[in-house]
């Protein structure tokens, strides 16, 4: 009787291989039969990740018009249509449509992230079925398939290893481990973490060395990649503080305007006005009070921030990320590839007599190998052990250094490449490696060896490299600078290497022996008559400028936390180099503590500077804990394992060069140079963009409120309107374009990183701004009313008096615009010349106001009339008195505010 296949337990890595074969109902030598493949394909489907349900494009498009900012624009367009300003209504409609199209494109990023995961499983793979080795599409794999993989292959599913030869796997996209890990057959402890399962291969990782055979134990969504797929789909999409605040503000101002309009309507009826006339007046009040240009200016300000960030290497994929950067309080950053260069580099070289430091780690051999006493050695002239180290480093190496098309290319295991580059700095003759006497590195051996033939002497020499504890245990002597040997000073050598390891260096030890040292022994064990020649200390170097960027963030009130899958010793050493340990309260928190829910409290997460050996779900746990603690979190990463946390964070930042497609598609921002320092520059630009948004609101709201109050006061007093509805719309739209838009390109404050982030829980429209709005609004009502009735009393017509009031309103807006740019006196040339576009905008505004006043077609369209020269003198006098009052209020009532600073 044939039993129906059932999937293995969750502990495929811990089961004895014989038991796993029985459970999988497979044959290690012959693989599955075609009948078994068909049955399992029908039961478990293709080896592909399922696509989440997509929102229908029409529904997504409709949702774009429900955004609070867009509703304001729609309301403004409707009001424009009601007052027969069809051209303005058409312009506003075009803005709404463009904004909706942009939003529709931006929201596709979640589906793009999942598509990137799908691509990880698209490959060709060698599989054994019915005893025949064949090549199939990876999507056709099923649990129980027997596969063969070699160096360069992408792992297509989760696989239990049955045979491995010198196999090393790059698991950094999944675990964050910076170096390839050795793999072998056998069982491991059931409680072992993902990075400790040396007998497993996981989908999405890469074979960098060796060959391997194994049994597929999980496909599609059941793989570790599948678990990340679910995490990405389940990560929360957070609304941004600016969006939420502007949404609340929109609701408030709408209600407030309706109340004012109702008061105006009732007040006019009380004075005997007709309902039709008062409806028109109420519409005029709404036109005046609604800041029609606000959504467009906010969008343009953020868009300009996008352009500025792109120039500095940060590509923005979602517009809201610009303003979120200005509020970030914590950066959770990956180590490998973000803080470091993601390439192993020999930093130190220890021979028995001397310590050397390598400056420059390029394949061309540029840079210097410098001894501690400052001597620059040449080959073995000053230390014979140097030459032996170079030969041992390269004898059993698979690294390839090639000069092509004007640049050097490197291929092979990162450790091999680093040691080969080191050897380039030590002039030495090429030797002939006897391939039949090569012993590759395996996790069990923990060393590699090769027998070389000296072509000059025809003598053979054995060179060994490996883990220092393995190599030193087999050495009895050490090589001195003059080429002689003495008994090994084990304690001194071990002490030197221990100190290097404590500083975060990974050590590879070298030894030699004459002849073939393995001719009488087991190749899996080193003979005990080797001569120690030295060791190389390797690091993944910290990126240039990162330490300074972290310090700048700290001054700006932003904490940086390293979140990595790497081992704690390495992470702690890098953190120390970068200055992440600010005081004694900061510490390293292991992933095992996060896994035990009662072991890691919110306080532990808040105080930790480094999180080591963490998994994708732990990264989300960290981000959510910080968010629950009212932090605004930015998360950086480059691997598949980072993607869920990138989605969860307020701002997800992926690496553009080394990052996976999954990470880039899940992120809000992509750093083109993979440099943490670029993120610090992006934060500066984000803060500058928010400053400019606040400047715009502080400029637009008072004058808009003043325009609404003009209508209200006129209705309550039963007097003619000092400014007509169409004239108010003219003022709002022209000033938004030619004046307000220029605030979007204001340069950021030079000291912007010396103040704390904007508090997302504080009001965007602060009490200070509310007082300012009321003060300026009253000034606008008083000044325009005074000028209107002054001109009426001077014998001018209502059209001329209204034209004077409109021009006064424009002048006041220009003076307020200049005032809000700086806390110093606004009319200083040193202040004015910092934004030439603003001066150009003012010039254009004045020109079109001249056309508004004196060009008959335009004047007739808006009910304006030409005014005499004495009226302009009155406009200037009243305008500068009003502007002076605004400057006085700025210096007296908010002398210490930083909201409008642009020094």
Active-site positions read 334
Q: Is the CB of residue 237 less than 8 Å from the CB of residue 320?
A: no
Cβ neighbours of residue 850 closer than 8 Å, sequence gap 6 or more: none
Q: Report the alpha-carbon distance of residue 446 to residue 415 in Å, rounded.
A: 13
Residue 109, class by beta-carbon neighbours within 10 Å (0-12 exposed, 13-18 middle, 19+ buried)? middle
| Secondary structure percentages of the chain, helix, strand, coil, to 5 | 50, 20, 35
Beta-sheet strand order (sheet of 330-333): 314-316, 669-671, 651-655, 633-637, 330-333, 559-563, 608-612, 587-590
Length of the chain: 903
Q: Is the CB of residue 225 less than 8 Å from the CB of residue 49?
A: yes
Cβ neighbours of residue 410 closer than 8 Å, sequence gap 6 or more: 363, 399, 400, 401, 402, 417, 420, 421
Cβ neighbours of residue 349 closer than 8 Å, sequence gap 6 or more: 355, 356, 357, 358, 369, 386, 389, 422, 534, 535, 536, 537
Q: Is the CB of residue 447 less than 8 Å from the CB of residue 526?
A: yes
Distance from CA of residue 76 to its chain's centroid? 36
Task: Report how far apart the first and last C-alpha atoms of the chain are (Å, whole number).
Answer: 85
Cβ neighbours of residue 667 closer than 8 Å, sequence gap 6 or more: 317, 646, 652, 653, 654
Cβ neighbours of residue 695 closer than 8 Å, sequence gap 6 or more: 743, 746, 820, 821, 899, 900
Written in H, E and C, the secondary structure of 297-318 is HHHHHHHHHHHHHHHCCEEECC
Residue ranges in 312-432 assigned as alpha helix (H): 320-325, 384-395, 414-424
Q: Is the CB of residue 177 less than 8 Å from the CB of residue 135?
A: no
Per DSSP, what are the bridge partners of residue 459? Answer: 454
Q: Report the alpha-carbon distance of residue 111 to residue 108 in Å, rounded.
A: 6
Torsional sign, CA 47, 49, 53, 58: negative
> Encoding tokens for residue 536?
């190389």
602 sits in which H/E element: helix 602-607
| DSSP letters for 85-106 | -HHHHHHHHHHHHHHHHHHHHH
Strands 608-612 and 587-590, by their bridges, are parallel
Residue ranges in 718-766 assigned as alpha helix (H): 725-738
Please tell me what DSSP assigns to residue 642.
G
- Other CB atoms within a 10 A radius of the CB of residue 135 amount to 9
Q: Report the alpha-carbon distance of residue 562 to residue 609 in Å, rounded.
A: 6
Q: Is the CB of residue 25 less than 8 Å from the CB of residue 144?
A: yes
Q: Is the CB of residue 212 less than 8 Å from the CB of residue 165?
A: yes
Q: Is the CB of residue 149 less than 8 Å from the CB of residue 215?
A: no
Q: Is the CB of residue 142 less than 8 Å from the CB of residue 24?
A: no
Q: Which residue has the tokens 């589906």?
A: 111
């Amino acid at each position: 009787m044939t039993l129906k296949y059932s999937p293995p337990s969750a502990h495929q890595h811990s089961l004895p291989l014989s038991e796993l074969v029985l459970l999988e109902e497979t044959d290690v030598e012959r693989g599955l039969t075609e009948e078994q493949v068909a049955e399992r394909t029908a039961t478990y489907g293709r080896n592909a990740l399922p696509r989440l349900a997509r929102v229908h494009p029409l529904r997504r498009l409709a949702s774009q018009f429900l955004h609070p900012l867009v509703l304001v624009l729609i309301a403004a367009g409707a009001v424009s249509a009601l007052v027969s300003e069809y051209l303005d209504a058409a312009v506003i409609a075009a803005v709404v449509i463009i904004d909706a199209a942009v939003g529709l494109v931006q929201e596709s990023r979640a589906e793009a992230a999942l598509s990137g995961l799908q691509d990880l499983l698209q490959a060709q793979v060698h599989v054994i079925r019915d005893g025949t080795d064949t090549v199939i599409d990876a999507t056709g794999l099923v649990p129980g398939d027997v596969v063969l993989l070699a160096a360069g292959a992408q792992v297509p599913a989760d696989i239990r290893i049955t045979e491995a030869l010198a196999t090393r796997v790059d698991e950094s996209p999944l675990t964050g481990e910076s170096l390839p890990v050795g793999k072998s057959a056998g069982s491991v402890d059931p409680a072992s973490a993902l990075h400790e399962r040396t007998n497993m291969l996981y989908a999405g990782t890469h074979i960098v060395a060796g060959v391997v055979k194994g049994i597929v134990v999980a496909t599609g969504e059941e793989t570790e990649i599948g678990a990340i797929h679910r995490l990405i789909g389940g990560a929360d999409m957070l609304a941004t503080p600016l969006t939420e605040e502007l949404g609340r503000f929109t609701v408030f101002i709408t209600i407030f305007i309706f109340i004012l309009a109702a008061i105006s309507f009732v007040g006019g009826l009380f004075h005997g006005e007709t309902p039709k006339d008062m409806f028109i007046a109420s519409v005029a009040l709404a036109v005046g009070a609604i800041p029609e240009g606000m959504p467009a200016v906010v969008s343009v300000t953020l868009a300009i921030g996008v352009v500025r960030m792109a120039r500095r290497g940060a590509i923005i994929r979602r517009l809201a990320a610009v303003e979120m950067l200005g509020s970030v309080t914590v950066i959770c950053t990956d180590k490998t590839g973000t803080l470091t260069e993601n390439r192993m580099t020999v930093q130190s070289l220890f021979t028995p007599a001397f310590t050397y430091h390598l400056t420059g780690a390029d394949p061309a051999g540029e840079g210097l190998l410098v001894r501690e006493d400052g001597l620059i050695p040449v080959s073995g002239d000053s230390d014979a052990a140097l030459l032996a180290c170079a030969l041992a480093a390269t004898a059993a190496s698979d690294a390839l250094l090639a000069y092509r098309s004007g640049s050097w290319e490197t291929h092979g295991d990162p450790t091999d490449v680093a040691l080969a580059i080191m050897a380039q700095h030590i002039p030495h003759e090429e030797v002939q490696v006897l391939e039949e006497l090569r012993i590759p590195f395996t996790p069990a051996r923990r060393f590699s060896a090769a027998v070389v033939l000296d072509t000059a002497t025809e003598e053979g020499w054995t060179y060994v490299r490996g883990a220092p504890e393995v190599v030193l245990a087999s050495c009895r002597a050490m090589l001195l600078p003059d080429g002689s040997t003495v008994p090994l000073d084990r304690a001194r050598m071990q002490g030197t290497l221990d100190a290097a390891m404590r500083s975060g260096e990974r050590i590879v030890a070298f030894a030699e022996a004459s002849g073939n040292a393995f001719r009488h022994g087991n190749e899996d064990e080193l003979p005990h008559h080797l001569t120690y020649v030295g060791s190389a200390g390797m690091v993944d170097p910290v990126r240039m400028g990162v330490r300074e960027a972290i310090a700048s963030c700290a001054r700006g009130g932003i904490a940086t936390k390293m979140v990595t899958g790497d081992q704690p010793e390495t992470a702690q050493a890098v953190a120390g180099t970068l200055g992440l340990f600010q005081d004694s309260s900061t510490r390293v928190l292991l992933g095992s503590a996060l896994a035990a829910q009662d072991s890691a409290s919110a306080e532990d997460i808040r105080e930790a500077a480094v999180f080591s050996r963490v998994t994708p779900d732990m990264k989300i746990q960290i981000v959510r804990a910080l968010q629950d603690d009212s932090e605004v979190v930015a998360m950086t990463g480059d691997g598949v394992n980072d993607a869920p946390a990138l989605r969860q964070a307020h701002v997800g930042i992926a690496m553009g060069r080394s990052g996976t497609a999954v990470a880039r598609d899940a992120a809000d921002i992509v750093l083109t140079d993979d440099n943490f320092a670029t993120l610090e520059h992006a934060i500066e630009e984000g803060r500058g963009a928010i400053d400019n948004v606040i400047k715009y609101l502080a400029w637009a709201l008072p004058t808009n409120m003043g325009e609404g109050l003009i209508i209200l006061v006129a209705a309550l007093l039963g007097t003619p309107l000092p400014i007509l509805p169409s004239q108010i719309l003219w003022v709002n739209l022209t000033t938004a374009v030619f004046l307000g838009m220029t605030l979007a390109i204001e340069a950021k404050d030079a000291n912007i990183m010396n103040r704390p982030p904007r508090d997302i829980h504080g009001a965007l429209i602060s009490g200070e701004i509310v007082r300012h709005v009321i003060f300026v609004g009253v000034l606008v009502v008083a000044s325009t009313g005074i000028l209107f009735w002054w001109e009426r009393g001077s014998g001018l017509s209502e059209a001329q008096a209204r034209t004077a009031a409109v021009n006064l309103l424009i002048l006041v807006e220009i003076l307020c615009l200049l005032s809000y740019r700086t806390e110093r006196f606004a009319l200083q040339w040193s202040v004015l010349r910092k934004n030439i576009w603003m001066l150009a905008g003012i010039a254009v505004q004045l020109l079109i106001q001249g056309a508004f006043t004196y060009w008959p077609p335009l004047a007739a369209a808006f009910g304006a009339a030409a005014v005499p020269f004495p009226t302009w003198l009155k406009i200037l006098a009243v305008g500068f008195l009003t502007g002076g009052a605004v400057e006085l209020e700025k210096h007296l009532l908010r002398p210490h505010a930083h909201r409008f600073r642009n020094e």
